[in-house]
Structure 1
Amino acid sequence: MKTHELKLEIKYFDDVKSGKKNFEIRKNDRDFQVGDILELKAYAGRESAAEESLDIDYVWTQHLYEEGYDVWENCEEELADIIKVKVTDIILPKAWWSILNKFGINNGPVMTKSGFMFSPKEVLTVLEDYFSTERLPNGCVILGIEVVK
């Protein structure tokens, strides 16, 4: 079991933190394994700020202010909100297409053989929103995750 420190854009961070979003789409350049821990650090990505024509420093400062930090007294990077999640499942591209072909996107949640339940529609939404595609980008996997204390 390994621990991986990763950034997660603020627009997804709160949904993962609350348990609403129970998957991550990641390039598998770290050889993720079931049981690994991901330390996800809230991050105001340049792409999301640019899409909304916002100054990235403003987005980050606003997020910290809403979280109750005195942004004028502290270093923003050190105050980034961090959550830990455990990898419960790994879905490879071939399995993703098999799931889409078998269940479609509007038939509700799908359960994998290992018991991980997720919504293909939510995965497609993230793929289209973040990657501008419905296919898993080359080398990426879908990680089933659960928040740990």
Structure 2
Amino acid sequence: MLHPLPTLRQAAEITVAFALSTLITALFIRVYGGYVSQETMILSGSIAGGKWAIQILLGWLLLGAKRWIYIRELGIACLIGSLVLIPFSITSGAALYFFGSLLASICAMGTTVVIRLKAAGFAWRWPALWFLLLSVAVTLQLTIVFHIL
């Protein structure tokens, strides 16, 4: 079964949102300076990116004609969360400010995901999936990257 391609506008929104988010998040990770090595920086970014990749893949596989709307909404949420990280990236504050920035970013993304997916007519399970994958990603970050848990 063929699935429609995204409109030019959808493709542009998705591309710009994820590209800017990737750049801002990479700057945020680089500025923090609390990673023990370059490898842990890469691992941290990979965990965050992997969460988004899994959601995109599941949306691609399961949503048919609504897939591009879902992926666009994820991109917008990702960008909003990344924009919240800019103040830290500019000021390069302390570790507490780093984790506070992450928490603020997560809250902004979670709120955006819930509101925008509901408005777009998606079932509750799609925002729930976002929160489930977020929980896995945070657990991986805290155990593998930061050795807190």
TM-score range, shorter chain: under 0.3
What TM-score, normalized to structure 2? Answer: 0.27
Higher helix content, 1 or 2? 2
